[in-house]
Structure 1
Amino acid sequence: MSRGRLILQRPGEICTNGDTSEHTLLAPSDDAEAQAVLDWLRAFDVAGLYTGAIANAIDYVLDGARTGRYDLMAPDVHPGEKASVGAKLEYEVLRSFSLPKEPPLDTRIAKVPVDIKATVGSNWAIPSEAHCQLCICTQIQLGRGRHRSWLVRTHRSWLYRGKGNKDGKRGLAVDARDQWSTPLYDWTPLPVNPLTLLTAEQSARIMAKRPGQEQRFAMMFRHLEGHIIPRSVISTVGAGKLDPLRRARNVRRHLAKDGLTLLCGKWRDQQDLAAAHKITLGPEDWVALRLEEGQAHDG
């Protein structure tokens, strides 16, 4: 049977797809374990924590501090590397929610086994040990810079039939996801790496080996005036060089000639200056701004 023609059993019927341990298919509202997991998650900003976890997973895969790469959609990023974002995300999610790595699946939430799955495509590979178990399934659309997640019990009757891939993993039927899962949050944007806002010419000059770091950092802050620059971006521009953060701090005098003030979120007074311009700086964020006379800070 083709994947597009899978006829699903409905909640209340018996899950019999390829297994002798028959049980009743449960709708989310009737699934006590699912409700316990949802109650636990309500204490968290799930969308926000997942946004940060995905961003960290992408940074890990790109390894900008060593490779100088900053765009997961660039042609020099292998498709396998893009796919590996999902594998890394599992550990970032556990860390973000302070969850243990605990068998039989990836973790336990409210004492309930839960598997954590993510895809940069349109479906998830559900392993045999997670069949009929609760899964948090995350879809990441890299090209559109967004993500969303569901909690779903991946009943065998709701997985595409057949032996699956070589590891026995099978995909979740779209209708089951749409009808009998619980959305944890709707489409949520991923952070934009400010380096992707540069033109090809600007990027080539900033990422070149010459001139030195300070001149290239000054170019970056000029071109990205008003944009928050995370520490990871500074490490990427200074890839393979010694102490890029110190070099970045030294560009203040270069920027002052253009009327720009470099602010660092490490300092509370500089956070306040940024906040006056409706910019929220984290403790490892930077921004170049044109401040009013008397506001400039030497930091």
Structure 2
Amino acid sequence: MKKNIPPSLIQPGHPDHHLLSSLQVEIIARAGGALTLADDFAAMLRTCIDDVIMTPKTGRRCYEELEKTEKTYIGTRVEIELRALLRLKRGRLDTVILDHDVDIKNTMGSNWMIPTEAVDQVCMLVAADELRARCYLGLVVAKRDYLTAGQNKDAKRSISAEGFQHILWLLCDHPYPANFWRTVDEEVVEQIFASDTGNARIATLFRAIQDRPISRQVVEAVAMQKDFMRRVRSDKGRGARDLLQRDGILLLQGQLHGQLIKMMELPHCSPSEFISCRPTTALQHRMAAQVGFNLPQIAG
């Protein structure tokens, strides 16, 4: 998405203000409030993108590796998921809000392509910037004056530079969960996937990346097996947890070890997240032992 987005002109007195502000209020209410909308919308985008990348099945780890048709499907997936998130029905365009037909447009780039049937109609604009992990949700009445003069072979036009001022933003430059693999050094990624077994790959993952919550989806991608959850458990000395424990590293799950995670002063983990750490004090070793971990004794 463009880095320099102009301030919105959608204020009282603007010809689109009454319509767009009423739709904004309805959308926020349907989402359960502004904070819930921000959280759920951001999480939805991450899921839509990751489910098309399909790292566990394909080995791909980023948006750039997708085929053109798959990139296009992300827009369809976002449309479906957004309707479900806001409990909206299909309409003549993509959906209907307060009896107004609304077209949902998604981009992973810097602009949206507005089809002829959406001209002069309300468009809900969605954007995800994978490199910066920022997302956008806005409303615009796609008037011809807000669109570029040029068009593509399908007669679709983009929002013009001036037209960006007529977008009412519900979320603008808002953070969303980053693609995990973009946050890890390529050298480390190669180390993780160099191992031949799921247990070894999981152990390498949590040995290399400690004190940081890691999602269930990442664990599945690294395990590359249907029973991936088995890889993070103790398993007769062969499981990733067993391998790590012998190295003095704890592998904890938010659902099972929430209290220990808090006592270790680690970052918060959701029930479906995992985190590893290396206890360094006698007190931390005793706390781990109280919940069943048998770590090597520390000197002194």
For the superposition of Structure 1 and Structure 2, which TM-score range results when normalised by the shorter chain? 0.7 to 0.9
Structure-to-structure mapping, 1:125-136, within 5 angstroms:
125-136=113-124
Structure-to-structure mapping, 1:151-170, within 5 angstroms:
151-161=139-149, 164-170=151-157
Question: Number of matched residues?
Answer: 266
Residue 113 of structure 2 contacts residue 157 of structure 2 at CA under 8 Å; is this kept in 1? Answer: yes
Name which of 96, 99, 110 aligns with 2:98: 110
Structure-to-structure mapping, 1:1-299, within 5 angstroms:
27-29=15-17, 31=18, 33-42=19-28, 43-45=33-35, 46-73=37-64, 76-78=65-67, 81-100=70-89, 102-161=90-149, 164-178=151-165, 180-208=166-194, 210-239=195-224, 241-249=225-233, 250-267=239-256, 270-276=257-263, 277-291=265-279, 292-296=284-288, 297-298=291-292
Q: CA deviation at 1:87?
A: 3.1
Change (3 A) 1:111 1:280: farther
TM-score (norm 1): 0.79
- Give the Cα separation in 2 of the matches to 1:193 and 1:294: 36
Deviation readout 1:54-103 (Å, 9 max, x if unpaired): 10111112011201222224xx4445544543332212222222333x11
Identity of aligned residues (%): 28
Amino acid at match of 2:47: N
Of residues 91-100 and 251-260 in structure 1, the stretch that sits farther from structure 2 once superposed is: 91-100
Amino acid at match of 1:176: G
Deviation readout 1:10-36 (Å, 9 max, x if unpaired): 99xxxxxxxxxxxxx96332x3x3222
Q: What SS does structure 1 have at the residue aligned with 2:287? A: coil
Residue 136 of structure 2 contacts residue 174 of structure 2 at CA under 8 Å; is this kept in 1? Answer: yes
Residue 145 of structure 2 contacts residue 163 of structure 2 at CA under 8 Å; is this kept in 1? Answer: no
Instruction: Give me the CA root mean square deviation.
Output: 2.6
Residue 27 of structure 2 contacts residue 86 of structure 2 at CA under 8 Å; is this kept in 1? Answer: no
Higher RCO (CA < 8 A, seq sep 6+): 1
Amino acid at match of 2:250: T
- Give the Cα separation in 2 of the matches to 1:192 and 1:295: 32
- Give the Cα separation in 1 of the matches to 2:15 and 2:222: 50
TM-score (norm 2): 0.79
Deviation readout 1:83-132 (Å, 9 max, x if unpaired): 543332212222222333x1112122333322221212221111122111
Residue 260 of structure 1 contacts residue 290 of structure 1 at CA under 8 Å; is this kept in 2? Answer: yes
Between structures 1 and 2, the one with greater helix share: 2
Q: What SS does structure 1 have at the residue aligned with 2:120? A: coil
Residue 56 of structure 1 contacts residue 92 of structure 1 at CA under 8 Å; is this kept in 2? Answer: no
Q: CA deviation at 1:287?
A: 1.0
| Structure 1 segments unaligned to the other structure (5+ residues) | 1-9, 12-24
Residue 137 of structure 2 contacts residue 171 of structure 2 at CA under 8 Å; is this kept in 1? Answer: yes
Amino acid at match of 1:147: C
After TM superposition, the runs of 4+ consecutive aligned structure 1 residues lying more than 6 A away are none
Residue 216 of structure 2 contacts residue 273 of structure 2 at CA under 8 Å; is this kept in 1? Answer: yes
| Structure 2 segments unaligned to the other structure (5+ residues) | 1-8, 234-238, 294-300
- Give the Cα separation in 2 of the matches to 1:166 and 1:119: 18
Residue 53 of structure 1 contacts residue 92 of structure 1 at CA under 8 Å; is this kept in 2? Answer: yes
Amino acid at match of 1:232: Q
